[in-house]
């Protein structure tokens, strides 16, 4: 006899097989969707990695009035803190803008703060003489006198790039807004102290280490970052200089086609004629170091001075000068490559054989080493075009310092009264 439940097992098997088939189809669709997501994500990661690898070569921080700043959000940095800008006690995120005193506008870009006055700097004057000066907040009095001396002694078009730390930007903007300098073309740049990082090392001998380990001392390493869109000729000066001549003559300094820039050395005719102490590479570099020996530079080679130089920015970038400067500074932080701290020993290594000579009358040095005179009065007053108080004694600190009477001609009083002079001695009240 046939059971009523006979055909049910077969029907149950068919249903089970059908359900299994449906599950497999669904799993196949999900797997294909998952694979598509993985593939797309992988492509995006590869593309982003490629972009990051390209970024160090294309990175150009923009000024406030550059349209390229908008829409660029790719970040290349090892620390999040490097992407923030600091101005006094305030901190700004990347791409964040702020207005500061003196009607200057500032923009944070990759941890670097650019400030400019749009009504003056909207259109860059390519015929202008570009001058870059770097100074910490406590020495703005020197920077301002230098700017005044350059501006007062030429009819040429000028563009100043004034670099300071975050504590000095607001102060500098106000100072540059005084009536005499109100129409001077300039931009104020806040130096990113993280660039130099751990490459600063204490001197292995000698003194004045406070000045040599100041991060902004090394701003001259980073000219392509400070002037990202500029490919012409720029003059760099320390803030303890005064210019007595027309700077267009310095700007026209001959630079050989095989050289990057022009520097002065300690063995030029002015030094020889007035018996100024000569200095050689052997006085600074550690010739027991294997890497120094590999350079093949004779220890009798005459030192250059990095407190004033004229360089072609295009050639600087082509030779990757910043990378080379960073390499030797970093190496000296791990082993003794040179005995003195600061930027000059690094410049001596990197620029060896790559510089022409600045006219010695455009870099009269050693004025800060002692209070007494080093040069005859007629030479100092009439022939010298640029004075440099390199050394411990600055003209704003010592009223008896040789040549301080010339420096005082260009002194500009601080509108905030922070760096005031009493008997021509600066008192820092900050």
The residues near 243 (Cβ < 8 Å, ≥ 6 apart) are: 146, 149, 150, 153, 237, 250, 385, 386
Distance CA 108, CA 69 (A): 10
Q: What is the residue-level pLDDT of the chain in tens, covering all 430 positions?
A: 444 555 545 555 656 666 666 666 666 666 666 666 667 776 666 666 555 444 433 333 333 232 222 222 222 223 334 445 655 555 555 555 665 544 456 766 655 666 665 444 444 567 899 999 999 999 999 999 999 999 999 999 999 999 999 889 999 999 999 999 989 999 999 998 888 876 666 555 454 545 556 889 999 999 999 999 899 999 999 999 999 999 999 999 999 999 999 999 988 666 555 645 568 899 999 999 999 999 999 999 999 999 999 999 999 999 999 999 999 999 998 899 998 878 999 999 999 999 999 998 999 988 887 655 667 777 888 889 999 998 888 999 888 888 889 999 999 999 999 886 634 444 433 3
DSSP string covering 157-204, please? -EEEEEEE-TTTHHHHHHHTTSGGGTT--EEEEE--TTTTGGG----S
Secondary structure E strands in 208-334: 233-237, 241-243, 261-265, 304-312
Give residue 429's pLDDT: 37
DSSP string covering 152-163, please? HT--S-EEEEEE
Q: Are 250 and 130 in contact (CB under 8 A)?
A: no
Distance CA 140, CA 403 (A): 19
Placement of tokens 């006690």 in the chain: 89
| Cβ neighbours around 289 below 10 Å, total | 16
The residues near 32 (Cβ < 8 Å, ≥ 6 apart) are: none
Distance CA 105, CA 118 (A): 8
Global pTM reads: 0.74
3-state secondary structure of 396: coil
Query: 297 exposed, middle or buried (CB, 10 Å; 0-12, 13-18, 19+)?
Result: middle
Distance CA 69, CA 62 (A): 6
For residue 292, give the nearest of 261, 321, 335 by alpha carbon.
335
Region of 310 on the Ramachandran plot (φ > 0 left; ψ -120 to 50 alpha; else beta): beta
State the DSSP H helix or E strand holding residue 425, giving kind and residue range, or none if neither: strand 425-428
Placement of tokens 């001077």 in the chain: 184
The residues near 423 (Cβ < 8 Å, ≥ 6 apart) are: 399
Distance CA 6, CA 3 (A): 5
| Cβ neighbours around 34 below 10 Å, total | 10
DSSP state of 380: I
Placement of tokens 């770097």 in the chain: 134
Cα dist from 417 to 140, 171, 233, whole Å: 12, 10, 35
Query: 386 exposed, middle or buried (CB, 10 Å; 0-12, 13-18, 19+)?
Result: buried
- Beta strands 241-243 and 186-190 are unpaired
Distance CA 93, CA 90 (A): 10
For residue 178, give the nearest of 150, 145, 156, 154 by alpha carbon.
145
* Dihedral (CA of 36, 42, 45, 51) sign: negative
For residue 339, give the nearest of 271, 275, 261, 279 by alpha carbon.
279
Q: Are 335 and 285 in contact (CB under 8 A)?
A: no
By residue count, the chain amounts to 430
Rg (CA), the chain: 30
């Amino acid at each position: 006899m046939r059971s009523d439940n006979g055909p049910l097992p077969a029907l149950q098997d068919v249903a089970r097989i059908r359900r299994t088939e449906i599950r497999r189809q669904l799993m196949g669709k999900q797997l294909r969707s998952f694979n598509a997501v993985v593939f797309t994500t992988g492509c995006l990661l590869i593309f982003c990695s490629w972009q990051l690898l390209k970024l160090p070569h294309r990175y150009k921080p923009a000024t406030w009035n550059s349209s390229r700043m908008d829409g660029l959000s790719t970040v290349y940095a090892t620390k999040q803190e490097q992407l923030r800008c600091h101005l006094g006690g305030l901190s700004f995120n990347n791409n964040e803008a702020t207005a500061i005193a003196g009607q200057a506008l500032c923009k944070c870009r990759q941890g670097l703060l650019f400030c400019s006055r749009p009504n003056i700097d909207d259109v860059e004057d390519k015929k202008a003489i570009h001058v870059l000066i770097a100074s910490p907040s406590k020495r703005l009095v020197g920077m301002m006198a230098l700017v005044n001396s350059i501006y007062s002694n030429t009819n040429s078009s000028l563009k100043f790039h004034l670099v300071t730390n975050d504590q000095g930007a607001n102060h500098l903007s106000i100072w540059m807004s005084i009536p005499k300098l109100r129409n001077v073309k300039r931009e104020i740049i806040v130096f990113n102290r993280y660039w130099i990082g751990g490459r600063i090392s204490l001197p292995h001998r000698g003194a004045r280490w406070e000045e040599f380990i100041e991060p902004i001392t090394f701003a001259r390493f980073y000219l392509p970052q400070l002037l990202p869109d500029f490919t012409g000729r720029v003059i760099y000066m320390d803030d303890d200089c005064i210019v007595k001549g027309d700077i267009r003559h310095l700007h026209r300094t001959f630079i050989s086609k095989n050289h990057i820039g022009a520097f002065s050395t300690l063995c030029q005719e002015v030094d020889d004629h007035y018996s100024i102490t000569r200095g050689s590479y052997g006085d600074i570099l550690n010739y027991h170091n294997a890497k120094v020996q590999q350079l093949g530079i004779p220890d009798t080679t005459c030192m250059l001075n990095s407190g004033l130089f004229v360089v072609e920015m295009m050639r600087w970038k082509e030779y990757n000068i910043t990378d080379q400067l960073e390499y030797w500074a970093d190496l000296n932080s791990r082993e003794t490559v040179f005995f003195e701290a600061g930027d000059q020993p690094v410049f001596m290594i990197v620029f060896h054989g790559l510089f022409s000579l600045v006219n010695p009358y455009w870099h009269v040095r050693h004025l800060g080493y002692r209070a007494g005179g080093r040069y005859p009065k007629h030479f100092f007053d009439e022939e010298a075009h640029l004075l440099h108080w390199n050394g411990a004694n600055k003209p704003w600190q010592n009223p008896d310092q040789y040549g301080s009477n010339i420096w005082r001609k260009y002194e500009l009083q601080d509108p905030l009264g922070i760096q005031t002079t009493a008997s021509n001695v600066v008192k820092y009240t900050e």
